[in-house]
Amino acid sequence: MLIKKNKLTWSPSAAQTLVETLVATSIVTIALVGILSLALSTLSLGGQSADWISAVNLSREELEICQTIRASNWFNESQQWPFGLDTGSYVANYGDTTLTAATASNISTCNNCIVCFNPTTQGYSQADGSGSCGGLVLTTYRRLITIASGDDLGGVCANACEQKIQVTVQWTHTNQSHNFVLEKRFTNWR
């Protein structure tokens, strides 16, 4: 019996095929890493966008409460300017007819500035003075209404006829603190 030994022979085309395979694998790997990082950043930005939208809506709600208080007091002849919008730091819940004094003027240390979520009504409310949500879901949001005297229409009005309403919403997302501030000026047209 005769056994033939196969000799391994080196061929330039075999080495070229190996190099081509390594290059192709590297290109595919780099492309996949790029696609995955793009997908992850898209998911992260989507979460941040949702947070910003919630912050804008939470601040708009507080501003609408201030507008409602002003409007309801506007038609009451016994009420005087600033129609329930005195200078100071406040919080309010949807449907409130008066503002509640904030426990602190600094939003970070204000206990009743904490925003709670009610899963039953799908609505938001402020925490109590101790920072408790009373069975509601604690959120990462805080909101504060700050009312200050305005610049009286650039000096045109000398009797304190302008109030500057500033609503600040603060929240954290991925251990980063964010702030959104919405401002409106109310004037005494009476």
pLDDT, tens digit, for every residue of 65-93? 999 998 888 878 888 888 889 999 999 99
Q: Give first-to-last CA distance, the chain, whole Å.
A: 119
Domain-embedded: residue 25: no
Would you say residue 120 lies in a domain? yes
Q: Does residue 174 register a pLDDT over 80?
A: yes
**What pLDDT shows up at residue 41?**
76
Instruction: Please determine, for residue 172, whether its predicted confidence score (pLDDT) is greater than 70.
Output: yes
Q: Is the pLDDT of residue 138 over 80?
A: yes
Q: Which residues pair with 181 in a beta bridge?
A: 168
pLDDT for 157 beyond 90: no
Asked whether residue 15 is assigned to any structural domain, the reply reads: no
**Which residue matches tokens 């101790």?**
130
In a domain, 177, yes or no: yes
Place of tokens 């000026």: 185
Span 39-70, pLDDT tens digits:
887 777 667 788 999 999 999 999 999 999 98
**What residues have CB less than 8 Å from 145, skipping those under 6 apart?**
62, 66, 89, 90, 91, 92, 99, 102, 165, 166, 167
Domain annotation covers residue 3:
no
Q: Please tell me whether residue 95 adopts helix, strand or coil conformation.
A: coil
Do the domain assignments include residue 14?
Answer: no
Number of domains in the chain: 1
Give the model's pLDDT for residue 171.
96
User: Is residue 11 in some structural domain?
Assistant: no
In a domain, 91, yes or no: yes
Q: What is the domain extent for residue 63?
A: 34-187
